[in-house]
Amino acid sequence: MPDEQLPLRSFRMSALLATAFSILLYFAGYGRFAFGILAGTALGMLSLGTLMWTIPRLFRPGKKSTKVFMGTVSLLKLPLFFIGVYLAIRPESAPYINPFGVFCGVALVPAVIFLKVVGWQMANGMNK
């Protein structure tokens, strides 16, 4: 798929969808689920954002130390992700955040990427 803007467009669409779903769910009386979706989408966007920042730098020709640094940054996102998941689903957060909402929020980002790619392929007839 020759679209270099796909990660950025997916990032923005995920934020827009998470905000819209959260507002709708909050006013429908599902506040805990809405906050779970926001927390999960923030975690998913953290993951996508670090990939958007490190991958182009990892594959750019240059110094080997830069590649080691970017690889280290890629690995350091994992503890941040684990801390975010722990804070979102710990028992003290239960009155405010629904853990299944966190799961749905994290899954929203890859789902947006998948649907954008499938939509692009269907629009351009790539399935022939």
Number of domains observed in the structure of the chain: 1
User: Per-block average pLDDT, block size 10, for the chain (128 residues)?
Assistant: 79 94 95 93 89 77 72 81 85 84 93 90 74
pLDDT of residue 25: 95
| Per-residue model confidence (pLDDT) at position 54 | 79
The overall pTM is greater than 0.85 = no
What one-character-per-residue DSSP string does 33-84 give? HHHHHHHHHHHHHHHHHHHHHHHHHHTSSS-HHHHHHHHHHHHHHHHHHHHH
pLDDT in the model for residue 36: 92
- Does residue 104 lie in a domain region? yes
Q: 106-122: b or e for each residue (b if 16 or more CB lie within 10 Å)?
A: bebbeebbeebeeeeee
Is residue 1 a part of any domain in this protein?
Answer: no
Specify the DSSP class assigned to residue 90: S
Structural domain includes residue 94 = yes
Q: Which domain holds residue 108?
A: 6-124
Structure tokens at 13: 């669409």
Q: How far is 71 from 103, CA to CA, in rounded Å?
A: 27
